[in-house]
Amino acid sequence: MYLSSLLIDVGDNPDRPRPGRLWLRNLYHVHQRLCMAFPSTFRKSDDADFLKPFNPEDFGNGQVHVERAADSGFLFRIDPHPNGRAVILVQSAVKPDWEYAFHNAGYLLAAFPEVKSFDLHFTREQSLRFRLVANPTRKIDTKSGPDGRRRNGKRVPVQDDQLFDWLARRAESAGFSIKKDFTTIQTGYIYVNKGWEGEGQRLRSVRCNGILVVSDPARFQETIIHGIGAGKAFGFGLLSVAPVSTEAT
C-alpha cells in the first residue's frame, strides 16, 4: 500500500486566500482531483498531457468508485500543518500518479507530493497512537414494514456526549480498544457541494486523537485498509497509526 502527503498552498493571509485554501473548502472537488491520480490506461495514452476535460469514466482504473480493499480504492484526510498550512494524506492500494493529477493545477500545491510504500503488521496488545476524522451517525425511526422486513431509518449525527461511546463501539468491532484518558475528540463540520452553484451539504465531523490497543491483529489490519464509518469520499474514515513515541501520520 502507499501513503501520499500533499502539502497545500493556502497562503499566509487567511483574508486573501490562495486557490488551495478555496479548493479545500469543498471536499467534493478535493475528492474529484484526487481521483485524477488514478487515470485509466486509455486516458494516459490518449491524453498524456491532461489537456482534455475531466471525465469520471476515464479515472479510477478500478481504484476509485469501488470498495476499499487491499488492491483497490483510496482513503484521504485533511490535517492541519504547522504555520497555518494544510496537508492531505492519501492511503491507496496502488501508487498514484500525482504529476498527472496536478498537471494543470500545480498552483494548489506548496510542494510536490511525497509518496512512500508501507506494509501492515500488527500484534495483539500492541499500543499505537492514532488519528481519525469520522462522520458519526446513528439511525432513528427504524421500523419493520408490513412484510416483516426491517426498514432503514433516518441517519442523524451522534450527540456530543455519546461520541466516545460511539468510537468505543466501532473500535470493538474493528479489532482494537481505545484508552479513554489518552483520547481527545474535537467536533466540527465539513462542506460538500457537487456544483458551483446552489446549496451544498454540511456534514458532521469529529477529529479523534489518542492511543489504541490492538485486540485482533487480522481484523485491525482490515480496518486500516477499509477505513471506519461513512463519508469516505469526503475525507472521513482514514485511521492513521504510529508508535506511541511518535506522531500519527
**Cell numbers describing residue 24:** 479545500
Structural domain boundaries of the chain? 2-117, 127-243
Which of 241, 231, 184 has its CA nearest to residue 27? 231
Cα dihedral across residues 10, 192, 54, 196: positive or negative: negative
Distances (CA, A) of 231 to 49, 93, 190, 204: 32, 19, 11, 10
Question: What is d(CA 193, CA 215) in angstroms, rounded to the nearest whole number?
Answer: 39
Q: Which residues contact 104 (CB under 8 A, 6 or more apart)?
A: 50, 51
Q: What kind and span of H or E run contains 127? A: strand 127-134
Say which residue the cell 500525482 belongs to: 98
What letter represents residue 153's amino acid?
A: G
pLDDT computed for residue 82 by the predictor: 80
The pLDDT, as a whole number, for residue 180 is 92
For domain 127-243, which architecture applies? 2-Layer Sandwich (3.30)
> pLDDT tens, 100-140?
999 889 999 999 999 999 999 999 999 999 999 999 887 76
Print pLDDT tens along the chain (249 aa). Answer: 999 999 999 887 767 768 888 899 888 889 989 998 988 888 888 888 888 887 777 776 545 555 676 667 899 999 988 877 899 999 998 899 999 999 889 999 999 999 999 999 999 999 999 999 999 887 766 565 566 666 666 778 788 889 999 999 999 999 999 999 999 999 998 888 766 555 677 888 999 999 999 999 999 999 999 999 888 989 999 999 999 876 665
Q: Note whether 176 and 214 are within 8 A (CB).
A: yes
C-alpha cell recorded at residue 17:
486566500
Dihedral sign from CA coordinates of 104, 105, 110, 114? negative
Whether the CB-CB separation of 243 and 128 falls below 8 Å is answered with: yes
Reported pTM: 0.85
Cell numbers found for residue 237: 474514515
